[in-house]
Structure 1
Amino acid sequence: MRRAKFIEKLEEQKLLLQDPGYVRTVQRMAEVDGQKQAVVRRQRVRPWWKMDSTGQIIMSVKFGAKPIEFEKGKAGIAVPSKDKLPTVINTLIEAVRAGEMDDLFANASKSRPAVGKK
């Protein structure tokens, strides 16, 4: 389940790269006129990449809201240009499918605090 969800997020990043105005739609239950109904909502998708001062693209792969550290202190992937981003995203998708990032996911989920009921 964790792999499938992460691949879905990477696919969204590819869509955002193709269309900067891409917006995700989700269906939620909301109270309309006193009754609960399914409502379609739009959610903005934020890019996982930024350009640094040298013009190089830095892509930070996020698990939840936190960037994943591939090595100690290195939480980004340096990409020479924006044209190479789809290749990097496809490589990450293949790595997730092969299970190569499972240890990184486990480490990232350990650092997140457990959410309990009040």
Structure 2
Amino acid sequence: MGVPNALNTLRFVDAARPRSMPAVQQRRNKLINKLWEQIQLAKSQLEHTHFVVKRRVTVKDLEGNYKSIERPKRIRPWWFMAADGTLCLSVFYGSKRLELVPGKTFISVKNMNDLIKTLELLKSETEAGSLDTVIEAASGALKLNFNRNR
């Protein structure tokens, strides 16, 4: 018995699934998720709607029992209105502001539509791996803060 005709169009390979994701990809995914949240927050502000991300937390009730409930996650915008009327955007990795260009941490955009386009551009560049060195530097700085506190 042979393989059915429809399956002849597929390319079958032997491959081993990796046990863990590389650290570089984990960092990219973290920044991509945060950029997605910022894009959705900007779109909701532009459309005058609410954007809510829920997260699961464990709380202790009055009897001392632990329950897992959903709470809204607080998302702070990464942009603000400058004195001249433009929007200034900074990108964060954790609590560290990323220096995308040496010596510069803010991106100036005209309006909310440009802000959304800029965030989407940053997200696609992160997916392509263009910001890996900047993310690596911020990750290293965050690790130093954790080691200092011990």
TM-score (norm 1): 0.88
Q: Distance in 2 between matches of 1:111 and 1:73?
A: 16
Q: Distance in 1 between matches of 2:90 and 2:115?
A: 12
1:25–1:40 contact (8 Å) kept in structure 2: yes
Aligned residues: 118
Match of 2:44 in 1: 19
One-letter amino acid of the counterpart of residue 52, structure 2: V
Match of 2:69 in 1: 39
Q: Decide which of 89, 96, 100 is 1:66's aligned counterpart.
A: 96
SS in 1 for 2:32: helix
Q: Which has the higher strand share?
A: 1
1:22–1:45 contact (8 Å) kept in structure 2: no
2:57–2:69 contact (8 Å) kept in structure 1: yes
One-letter amino acid of the counterpart of residue 146, structure 2: V
Deviation at 1:108, TM superposition (A): 0.8
Larger Rg belongs to: 2
TM-score (norm 2): 0.71
For structure 2, list consecutive stretches of 5 or more residues without a partner in the other structure: 1-25
For structure 1, list consecutive stretches of 5 or more residues without a partner in the other structure: none
Deviations 1:32-52 (A, max 9, x none): 332222111112211101111
One-letter amino acid of the counterpart of residue 29, structure 1: T
Structure 1's consecutive aligned runs of 4 or more residues displaced over 4 angstroms after TM superposition are: none
The structure whose RCO (Cα within 8 Å, separation 6+) is larger is 2
Aligned-residue identity in percent: 30
Q: Distance in 2 between matches of 1:27 and 1:84?
A: 33
Q: Which has the higher helix share?
A: 2
Q: Decide which of 95, 111, 115 is 2:146's aligned counterpart.
A: 115
Q: Aligned Cα RMSD in Å?
A: 1.7
SS in 2 for 1:37: strand
